[in-house]
Structure 1
Amino acid sequence: MDKEKDRPDAGLRSLDHYKIRLPRWRYLLREQLLPIVRWETPYVAWLQDTLRTPALDTYFAMTANLGTHTFFMIMLPILFWCGHTSVGRGMVHILASGVFFSGFIKDLLCLPRPLSPPLQRITMSGSAALEYGFPSTHSTNAVSVAIYSFHLLQQQDSQLNPHVNLCLRVLCYCYAFSIVVGRLYCGMHGFFDVIVGSALGAILAVAQCRWGEQFDEWLLAGDIQRVLFVILIILVLIRIHPEPADDCPCFDDSVSFAAVMIGCQYAVWHFARTSYAWSEPSKGTVPFDLARMGWSVAVLRILLGVLIIFAWRGVMKPTLLKILPPIFRIIETRGLTLPRRFFKPASEYGTIPRQENDDNVIPRARDIPHLLSSFRRRRAVSVGPQSEADAYETLAYRNKKRRDSLNAAGSPSPANEHSPEPSYFEPDVPEETYISNRTRKRSSSLEMFRAQMGEGVEGLSPAVVNSPPGGHTPTRQEVQEMDELQEKRIFSNIQTPRVRYDVEVVTKLIVYSGIAWLAIEGNPIVFQYAGLGVD
């Protein structure tokens, strides 16, 4: 694999980056959709500027954690351990499908997030900014969970107190609203992202409500061949997952949740055939009776189950990362590898070093205290490009403004317009800086927000289009040198994605399918032998 092709020097990062990297049909489709993202950006910035308060900053930054992969991976096993196997399977289906297909579309189209500035990105997680923006996975998950929950509440109308049912419905509305609107408020997505993401979530939820039970019955009534058929389809989808133009971590999350889906299908099918499972209210149900077990046993089995899952991840991941590279090197010599652009092949490394923050779904056990402490810290407010996609879009939009100014006879260059925003090279700006300027920002117009798009690199503006009389007009070579200097500075200040290795794909498949098996079958059997089952 040609490293220079994958990570070109700044001088080679042309404005035709996506035209070079993407197949023609994907590039043309991207070019049709990109103007929508650019057009809506000042409106999203105006909305954010109008609504910003410290309280809402905290609220939307905190509630965004309820739509993350980590939150769902922690909560899903608890559904199974508390006897809600049917609900757990439904949630796995919609969430795993949502993460996979939203990531699939992100890598297919490579559409950037709305530019910053004019937007200020409010977040408690740095990894999300490395992904493409379209569609919003948070919105997909939130809407799918809300609709599926409505469906479950509709089925429980006769069993729940009407007031309780109403409160739960309102809670679902608040959950979906907080996540979807929060993505706009926090400057992480535009209207286009959340609308399409929400539509995708609605489609997946309706499909689960309509055909989920029939699929479960079909799978559980058959032999192992049906399970293998479903697994084969999932593996094919992983294989055809589009190659992104930039180093985007969407594929990692897609593989993790696809592996969860694989483990879930096999575990429920096999567990339903053992004597440990109940057949009511659905086949493969984990035995659970709070009245007979008591709260202490219920809490202990959850703690034990979580401990086993973290132990599995802590042991299996480093073990596989040591065992698999030699095997992959042998396979590579036979020409049987299926390399991906941003994954280093086994022939190019000896051992895989320990890396921090190497998993966006389930952190290492040692990282949990740091993860919990992050909730006590104030959210970060960032301005400027944070990923390669952000940087390329910044340069592309600035070049577009330059061309537009050249085509507009007598109009001043947007490059010379003053931008009140801080420099791009201040990635994490203290929140107080923006709150103190709130009065001034309230009077901002859409035109000012448009002017801020692609701006912010002070002292390194592009070539002056209309030179004053007698002034020096930059030569083509001088313009190119300034452009290359801009690119170097922008790319040197973005968050660099970690190095990823080819064996990580298989590692994730094994680790996360194992986590699903433990959650549905392995841990419930352990509970029985540990005295934490139903007497």
Structure 2
Amino acid sequence: MADIEKKPPTPAPDAGLRNLDHYKYRLPKYRYILRQKFLPLMRWETPYLAWFQEHTRTPGLDTYFAMTANLGTHTFFMVMLPIMFWFGYTNLGRAMVHILAAGVFFSGFVKDLLCLPRPLSPPLHRITMSGSAALEYGFPSTHSTNAISVGLYGLLAIRADSSIDPTFRLSMQLLAWIYMISIVLGRLYCGMHGFLDVIIGSALGALLAWIQWAFRAQIDTFIYSGDWKVPLMVVATILVLVRIHPEPADSCPCFDDGVAFAGVIIGADIGHWHFAHSRFSLNTPSPATVPYSYVELGLGKSIARVFLGVIIIFAWREIMKPTLHSLLPPVFRWIEQIGLSLPRKDYKQASEYTKVPALADDTLPRLQELPALIHNISRRTRSDSVGPQSAADAYETLAYREKRRRESLDSTGANRPTLHMRGTSNEGMGTGMSNYESEMGMGKVGSVEEKLVQGNEASESKFPKEGEEEGEAQERREEAEMFMRIERPRVRYDVEVITKLFVYSGIAWLAVEGNPILFEIVGLGMGVR
């Protein structure tokens, strides 16, 4: 039975249906109402964002903001956080794990809850080095949440440490402010987020940083001084949060990122809890500190720690991901048979496939992908795209076109109304705002593919249907073309959730306990006995 496809994959949206009530049908009533409350503000912001982008863009700033955006990505933190632990910065690394994991999870939670789009393109250009960034919803900005939580916590830690040299303190404070401003302002400059996205994202980051800072002693005492019930409670809480994560109306990778970082929390807290009670760790300046001294180890062994640790983390991911994708489907089929499966929407159940193919993972790239990633960054490779890139973009474009069409039909004395933004006049910037608004949802899709759709596509969507006006047929053709050009979300499989939890739990455990113990065994440690 497992070798037979029971039903075909879920088809792509049929643009010919003109499903402008897509979110009304797919979201619970309370979520749809919330979305409709926020949506006008998202649309209102767009012309101002376009004005800001056009009047500030330069080739140098394009490169700067596209590159600094990498400093707010999951990949950057997944590589940098383990290094903090291996060099003895356990307090700082532990705090960063908590605030970053919480930021990724809860910002993704709100994104999938409200399903709010990014600012419309056109009129905005989207400047990015990440191919998957635009596939997520826009509100709130996870980049802003990460940047503010990390930067603010760093500022609090620097301020509290009286032993830091004043010149070094000032330099680190300046660096933290440059980092936060670059990431948040870059989200606006690059056309990836609106003002409300970054404001709420920043507020969430500040809240998480404050909570971690204010209760850091209590958190450490609870987790690292307790018995086995503590890690059990951590695991149970994380699994409940993963289970209640909202189902999005479109295929959005927010849930994937949230699950990955939920796994990081599980692995890090269990690893720290166990490592704190082992003979390999120090209890000062905090529990589960990895012994390290540059004076004793020197540059060579310090570099070797990083090289060996990173290789092991990537090797774990490379081995365990395909292994679990082979072992879990039969287990999931058995669970389905006894009626206990709890599948997420748009996730393919194990009874519907025979094999999980090799799947991309934007949270942490594969080891063989690192040279290309580094090459792209060194070459400053970026894309400047205009047009819808995701299903959420496409539906928002269609909905905004319909809104404009209705406004035009309701207006008197003109075929199309003259549009003005609130708080502006017909002079100066006000006229510019009208020009930008006239572009919203009206441009052609040229984000990744500038060429027209080619090939044998003389389907029925290209011709007027019986009783259909030529104008309606033209609109339907444009919709069909739009959906054909957006980046298609990949098929997701039910086993991916457990796989991510297990793989990223293992990555975090290796970072905080597994690799530090290995360093001692292979001679890269401090000779702890």
Query: CA separation in 2, counterparts of 1:63 and 1:305?
Result: 25
Corresponding residue for 1:170?
174
d(CA) in 2 for partners of 1:378, 1:446:
31
**Mapped partners of 2:152, 2:413: distance in 1:** 54
Question: Which residue pairs with 1:242 in the alignment?
Answer: 246
The offset of 1:372, in angstroms, is 1.2
Match of 1:404 among 399, 404, 407: 407
Q: Any residues of structure 2 matched to 1:96-111 within 5 Å, and which?
A: 96-111=101-116
Counterpart amino acid of residue 15 in structure 1: L
Aligned residue number for residue 194 of structure 1:
198
| 1:110–1:132 Cα contact (<8 Å) kept | yes
Distance 2:517 2:287 in 1: 16
Q: For 1:3 and 1:46, how far apart are their aligned partners in 2? A: 46
Distance 2:281 2:513 in 1: 9
CA shift at 1:477, angstroms?
4.7
AA paired with 1:361? T
* TM-score, scaled to structure 2: 0.90
Instruction: Quote the offset at 1:444 in angstroms.
Output: 7.9
Residue deviations 1:404-434, cap 9 Å, x none? 111111222379xxxxxxxxxxxxxxxxxxx
CA distance in 2 between counterparts of 1:339 and 1:531 reads 46
How far residue 479 of structure 1 moved from its aligned partner, in angstroms, is 4.3
- Asked if 1:299 corresponds to 2:291, the answer is no
Query: What is the aligned partner in structure 2 of residue 517 from structure 1?
Result: 509
Number of the residue aligned with 1:319:
323
Deviations 1:290-336 (A, max 9, x none): 11111111110111000100110110001011111111111111111
Q: Which amino acid aligns with 2:338?
A: R
Say if 1:6 and 1:342, in contact at 8 Å, map to a contact too.
no
- What is aligned with 1:49? 54
Which residue identity lines up with residue 397 of structure 2 in the other structure? T
* Distance across 1 between alignment mates of 2:385 and 2:507: 35
| Residues 23 and 249 in structure 2, CA contact (< 8 A), matched pair in contact too | yes
Residues of 2 paired with 1:336 and 1:480: CA distance? 47
Partners of 1:62 and 1:414 lie apart in 2 by 40
Paired residue for 1:37?
42
Given the two structures, how large is their TM-score scaled by the length of structure 1? 0.89
Match of 1:66 in 2: 71
Q: Which residue of 1 aligns with 2:398?
A: 395
Q: 1:443 Cα deviation (Å)?
A: 12
| Contact 2:43–2:119 (CA under 8 A) maintained in structure 1 | yes
Q: Distance in 2 between matches of 1:385 and 1:4?
A: 24
Question: Structure 1 294/5 Cα, relative in aligned 2: closer, same or farther at 3 Å?
Answer: closer
In structure 2, give the amino acid aligned to 1:22: L
The reply on whether 1:487 has 2:484 as its aligned counterpart is no
Identity, in percent, stands at 58
Partner of 1:453: 440
- Check whether the contact 2:276–2:288 (CA below 8 A) recurs between aligned residues: yes
**Does the Cα contact within 8 Å between 1:402 and 1:414 map onto a contact in 2?**
no
Give, as a single letter, the amino acid of the residue that structure 1 aligns with 2:366.
Answer: R
Corresponding residue of 1:25: 30
What whole-Å deviation, never above 9, does each CA across 1:54-94 have from its counterpart, x for those lacking one?
Answer: 11001000100000000000000000000111111100000
SS in 1 for 2:384: strand
The Cα shift of 1:377 comes to 4.3
Which residue, out of 378, 381, 385, partners 2:381? 378
- Separation in 1, partners of 2:265, 2:340: 26
Runs of 4+ in 1 over 6 A off after TM superposition: 1-6
Q: Distance in 2 between matches of 1:444 and 1:300?
A: 60
Alignment root-mean-square deviation, CA: 2.0
Q: 1:220 aligns with which of 208, 211, 224?
A: 224
Does residue 204 in structure 1 map to residue 202 in structure 2?
A: no
Cα distance between partner residues in 2 of 1:300 and 1:274: 23
How much has 1:485 moved relative to structure 2? 1.5
Residue in structure 2 matching 1:353, options 357, 381, 385? 357
Q: Distance in 2 between matches of 1:362 and 1:414?
A: 48
Amino acid of the structure 1 residue aligned with 2:413:
G
CA drift of 1:365 comes to 0.8
Helix, strand or coil at the partner of 1:245: coil
- Cross-structure match for 1:90: 95
CA distance 1:127–1:398, shift in 2 (3 Å): same
Question: Offset at 1:480?
Answer: 3.9
Relative to structure 1, is the Cα distance of residues 65 and 498 closer, same or farther in structure 2, using a 3 angstrom cutoff? same
Rate the CA distance shift 1:257–1:193 in 2: closer, same or farther, 3 A: same
Q: Which runs of 5+ in 1 are unaligned?
A: 416-441, 461-473
Query: Does structure 1 conserve the Cα–Cα contact (< 8 Å) formed by 2:107 and 2:142?
Result: yes
SS of the equivalent of 1:122 reads strand
| Partner in structure 1 of residue 455 of structure 2 | none
Counterpart contact for 2:387–2:444, Cα < 8 Å: no
DSSP 3-state at the match of 2:345: coil
Q: Summarize the Cα distance change of 1:10–1:410 in structure 2 as closer, same or farther, 3 Å threshold.
A: same
Query: What do residues 15-50 of structure 1 show as CA deviations (whole Å, max 9, x unaligned)?
Result: 000000000000000000000100000000000011
| C-alpha deviation, 1:4, in angstroms | 8.6
The residue matched to 2:127 in structure 1 has which SS? strand
Q: Equivalent residue for 2:165?
A: 161
Q: Secondary structure at the match of 1:294?
A: helix
Q: Which amino acid aligns with 1:308?
A: I
Q: Which amino acid aligns with 1:143?
A: I
Cα distance in 2 for residues equivalent to 1:475 and 1:4: 32
Deviation at 1:352, TM superposition (A): 1.3
Please report how far the alpha carbon of residue 346 of structure 1 lies from its aligned counterpart in structure 2 after TM superposition.
0.7
Does the CA-based 8 Å contact 2:90-2:290 persist in structure 1? yes
